[in-house]
Amino acid sequence: MEPWLSGLLAGDMETTTTTTTVDEEDEKRPWHFLPPPLKSQPYPWLITSHGRYYQTQTFFNVSKLHQYHTRIIPEMRNRRIFHASFGWLVLMSRDSISDFLLLNLTSMETIQIPDPLDVEYSNMCILTAPPMDPNCRIIFNDPLSKDFLFCRPGIDSEYTRQKISKEVFGFVISSITIGGNTFCWTSLGKLLTIEFEESNLKFCQVMVRNKPRKTFCLSQDLVEFHGELLLVRKLMSRVTFCEWPSTFEIYKLDSCAMEWVEMKSIGDNAIFPQTMNIMIMVYVAP
């Protein structure tokens, strides 16, 4: 069975310029070729692409039980959702690292972005800002070379490739953009920010006083939670034949004390981590 690759969308940010706009023919196309009205709400929409050719999309309203809509959106056919941020989906071919497209499901605007050459696969994508923002960059990693590739959507025709010092920082395993800052979490337990100096990508370490306790993790994900930065760690359960095969640790970054604080409860909330591109669940804040 093919994996379902998912994304979460809430209210989209407004944009003023486009690369491809919805023309009169698009406005006349049947309702089942368009997404349902994605109105701003306190909860995100869950989107799954499925079918032999990923031709079908199902939209779940997580705030209302059993409410979902099935659509067939031509722009998403034969593509899987690689990332979702700022109300935009990053789509790519379901078979290879190619045929990349940015899609806004509210306006149906599309931006074609170049394919990262000489990259056999990638398991991480970062969108640093909405595509119409001059500070926007789209960043991919190359797990084989440990390089990063980045470009400006709609402007650059090719990527700039840059290395990260794995001896100093380790490998980047998760990333997220919050409040204009892009954070990365590495295999050495270091929190980094990504900045751009002219055409260069710069990694800066965030000096945090402590580290989460050492333990074997199946995955580690940075997640936004009410505007705060969380580190969600999936652990293997120590109990044999346990009903739940894994447990979770959640740490919140105290930005005043600059230390990780373990959360014992998240209350009546749900967290959707993104794990190794098998199932992408990204909360996109309005």
pLDDT of residue 174 exceeding 50, the answer is: yes
The two three-digit tokens of residue 261, written as one number: 């604080």
**188 forms bridges with which residues in the sheet?**
none
Residues 191 and 229 in one domain: no
Q: Which domain holds residue 163?
A: 116-207
Domain end marker among 88, 112, 136: 112
Question: Do 214 and 198 belong to one domain?
Answer: no
- Examine residue 190 and state whether it is found in any structural domain, yes or no: yes
Coil, strand or helix: which one is 188? Answer: coil
Look at residue 169 and give its three-state secondary structure.
Answer: helix
How many residues in the chain?
286
Of 160, 177, 207, the domain-final residue: 207
Q: Which residue has the tokens 């499901």?
A: 105
**Least confident interval from 3-12, 25-34, 177-186, 215-224:** 3-12
Inform me whether the pLDDT recorded for 40 exceeds 80: no
Is 104 inside a domain boundary? yes
Domain count, the chain: 3
Residue 91 shares a structural domain with residue 3:
yes
Same domain for 251 and 161, yes or no, is no
Mean pLDDT, residues 149-171: 89
Of residues 272 and 36, which shows the higher confidence score?
Answer: 36
Instruction: Share the mean pLDDT of the chain.
Output: 81
Q: Is residue 240 part of a domain?
A: yes
Helix H or strand E segment including 259: strand 259-262
Q: Cα–Cα distance between 115 and 111 in angstroms, integer?
A: 13
- As a whole number of angstroms, the distance between CA 237 and CA 248 comes to 9
Percent share of the chain, pLDDT over 70: 82
d(C-alpha 250, C-alpha 281), whole Å: 17
Residue 245 maps to a domain? yes
One domain for residues 133 and 193: yes
pLDDT at 285 over 50: no
Neighbours of 238 (CB within 10 A): 7
Q: Are residues 179 and 199 in the same domain?
A: yes
Report yes or no on 283 lying in a domain: no
d(CA 108, CA 127): 18
% of the chain surpassing 90 pLDDT? 40
Residue 21 in this model has a pLDDT that exceeds 60: no
pLDDT level of residue 274 (50, 70, 90 thresholds): low
Mean pLDDT of 180-193: 93
Q: Give the pLDDT confidence score for residue 131 in this predicted structure.
A: 94
Q: Is 249 inside any structural domain?
A: yes
Q: Residues 15, 148, 277, 252: what is their CA dihedral angle, to the nearest 10 degrees?
A: -80
Kindly tell me if the per-residue pLDDT of 219 is higher than 80.
Answer: yes
Q: Which two tokens stand for residue 90?
A: 């990053």
> So what's the pLDDT on residue 237?
67
Residue 157 in any domain: the answer is: yes
Strand order in the sheet with 56-61: 5-9, 45-50, 56-61, 68-71
Cβ-based neighbours of 30, under 8 Å, separated by 6 or more: none
The pLDDT value given to residue 199? 81
Domain co-membership, 156 together with 239: no
Looking at the structure, do residues 93 and 197 belong to the same domain, yes or no?
A: no
Q: Is the pTM of this model over 0.85?
A: no
Instruction: Give the E-state strand segments of 72-216 in sequence order.
Output: 79-85, 88-93, 101-104, 110-112, 125-127, 138-142, 147-151, 160-163, 172-178, 181-186, 191-197, 200-205
SS3 state at 28: helix
> What is the C-alpha separation between 142 and 120, in angstroms, rounded?
8
**Rounded to an integer, what distance in angstroms lies between the CA atom of residue 75 and that of residue 249?**
38
Alpha helices by DSSP H, listed for the chain, are 24-28, 166-169
CA–CA distance, 175 with 184 (Å, rounded to integer): 4
* Domain end marker among 153, 175, 207: 207
For the ranges 114-118, 172-176, 182-186, the lowest mean pLDDT is seen at: 114-118
Query: Is residue 193 a contact partner of residue 182, using CB atoms and an 8 Å limit?
Result: yes
**The predicted structure's pLDDT at residue 45:** 80
Domain-located, residue 41: yes
Confidence (pLDDT) at 273 = 74
When mean pLDDT is compared across 11-20, 52-61, 84-93, 238-247, the lowest value belongs to 11-20
The verdict on 24 and 102 lying in the same domain is: yes
Instruction: Judge if 148 and 254 occupy the same domain.
Output: no
In the predicted model, what is the mean pLDDT of residues 126-133? 93
* Residue 13 sits in the same domain as residue 105: yes
Q: Could you tell me if 69 and 137 lie in one domain?
A: no
